[in-house]
Amino acid sequence: RKEDGSLVGATTKVVRGLNEAIEAEAMSVVEAITFLTQFQNGSVIIETDNASIVKAIHRRIYPRLYWRMLARKIREAMDENPKISIQWINRNKNTVVHVLANWAEVEPNKI
């Protein structure tokens, strides 16, 4: 918790069966929204460095790819929970997430 009462959080999860990084990114947003709808009280901004996902969700135009259904699911969840939003963040400012993802690959306690 920061001095102003806001929180910053991140999590890792090994997901198998996804072929593209964009699919994993979209799945992580779905997982975050699922978690937030159970525990969230205030406004939440989900940040991702994948501009394609953010554009698809904001424009409501979904590509004919597997992650299309995930993007649509994200948009529907955000419509149901207007305090949850998503925004693009520059990859250079998203280094903590990449460090966590790399750590998850070698984490000694993973099953």
In single-letter form, the type of residue at position 110 comes to K
Q: Judge whether 82 lies within some domain.
A: yes
Q: Judge whether 60 lies within some domain.
A: yes
Q: Judge whether 66 lies within some domain.
A: yes
In single-letter form, the type of residue at position 94 comes to N
Give the CA count within 13 Å in the CB-facing half-sphere of 73. Answer: 15
| Cβ 29 vs Cβ 53: under 8 Å | yes
Q: Judge whether 11 lies within some domain.
A: no
Q: Judge whether 56 lies within some domain.
A: yes
Q: Judge whether 16 lies within some domain.
A: no
Whole-structure pTM value:
0.74
Show the domain range for 59.
Answer: 21-106
Alpha-carbon distance of 16 to 27, in angstroms, equals 11
Alpha-carbon distance of 20 to 109, in angstroms, equals 25
Residue 54 is predicted with a pLDDT of: 94
Residue 89 is predicted with a pLDDT of: 86
Alpha-carbon distance of 56 to 58, in angstroms, equals 6
CATH classification at residue 99: 3.30.420.10
Predicted confidence (pLDDT) per residue in 46-90, tens digit: 888 889 999 999 999 988 888 899 999 999 999 999 999 999 988
Residue 96 is predicted with a pLDDT of: 67
Indicate the burial class of 94 (C-beta count within 10 angstroms; 0-12, 13-18, 19 or more).
Answer: middle
Count of domains in the chain? 1
Q: Judge whether 14 lies within some domain.
A: no
Q: Judge whether 44 lies within some domain.
A: yes
Please give the mean pLDDT across all residues of the chain.
Answer: 81
Q: Check residues 71 and 110 and name the one with the higher pLDDT.
A: 71
